[in-house]
Structure 1
Amino acid sequence: MTTYTEITTIPEWQNVLQQSKEKPVLVFKHSTTCPVSAAAYKEFTSIATEVDAYLVKVIESRPVSKEIESDLSVQHKSPQILLVSNGESVWNDSHWNITEKNIEKAIEAQ
């Protein structure tokens, strides 16, 4: 099961973005009011990985969500998962495509 750290501030996000320059990180953008996002959250938390994982609640932490969209030039969707390496999104997916299998495949490709 994935353990993750929640990002709630822009400085926390900037630290994660910097960390991605050392090793890839996984960022899951989650809507706490959406059933599709709840299903994706289960997939996200079910993976077993050594990659550091982060969660952003898009409603509660909207400025962080917008900053991620801006910094990575990836249009916001919710739910959305991003694999970030060297300060860039090297893979992202959304909605029903967020599956344990797809996440693990993306991590292995790195």
Structure 2
Amino acid sequence: MNLFKNIFGSNESESTNSKVNWRPLIDMGQLNEIINESTEKPVIIFKHSTRCGISRMTLKQFENEYDLNDLVMPYFLDLLQNRDISNEIAKRFGIEHQSPQLILIKNGEPIYNASHGDIYADDLKRYI
């Protein structure tokens, strides 16, 4: 059974063994907090589908190259459990929904977003 979990993943939280200090994005009210927080420190939101192999591979790659804990506040959005929050992100920030997707917010505005195979921590550094 572990072979199938390793290949296809599982529905368990995938950010538990990460070097990224993810904050779970689970409440619509957090979006206002994120906007306010982004005036002090840039915020990233990683939108992830736990059932998608591409999303899983992208997340793992991003986490492996990530070294920005002191520079940004990272939020993790599980799309399967919180699709309404993802829809509100698209509406508020004018960014078409993608999965996986990484959005950088500074001073209440999205200044960078990437999806699928274009998500790299090194690319993100240029916009912080």
The alignment's TM-score, normalised by the length of structure 2, stands at 0.78
Q: Highest Rg: 1 or 2?
A: 2
Structure 1 residue matching 2:77: 3-state secondary structure: strand
Alpha-carbon RMSD across the aligned residues, in angstroms, is 1.2
State the shift of 1:76 in Å: 0.3
**Is the aligned partner of 1:73 residue 2:91?**
no
Task: Tell me the distance in 1 between the aligned counterparts of 2:88 and 2:127.
Answer: 26
Tell me if the contact between 2:111 and 2:127 (Cα under 8 Å) persists in the aligned partners.
no
Unaligned runs of 5+ in 1: none
Instruction: Give the whole-Å Cα distance in 2 for the aligned partners of 1:98 and 1:105.
Output: 8
More helix by share: 1
Asked whether the equivalents of residues 72 and 87 of structure 1 are also in contact (C-alpha less than 8 Å), the reply is: no
Kindly indicate whether residue 85 of structure 2 is the aligned counterpart of residue 64 of structure 1: yes
- Runs (4+) of structure 1 exceeding 6 A deviation are none
Q: Residue 45 of structure 1: SS of its match in structure 2?
A: helix
Match in the other structure for 1:91: 112
Which of 41, 52, 71 is the equivalent residue of 2:73? 52
Alpha-carbon distance between aligned partners in 1 of 2:92 and 2:73, rounded to the nearest angstrom: 19
The answer to whether the 8 Å contact 2:58/2:117 transfers is yes
| Aligned pair partner of 1:4 in 12, 22, 27 | 22
1 or 2, which has the higher strand percentage?
Answer: 1
Q: Which residue of 2 aligns with 1:104?
A: 122
Distance in 2, matches of 1:44 and 1:3, equals 13
Q: Quote the offset at 1:48 in angstroms.
A: 1.1
Report the identity percentage.
Answer: 30
Confirm or deny that 1:30 pairs with 2:48: yes
TM-aligned CA deviation for residue 82 of structure 1: 0.6
> Distance in 1 between the 2:91 and 2:44 partners?
17
1:73-105 deviations in Å (ceiling 9; x for gaps): 100000000111111111100001113xxx233
Structure 2 portions without partners, runs of 5+: 1-18
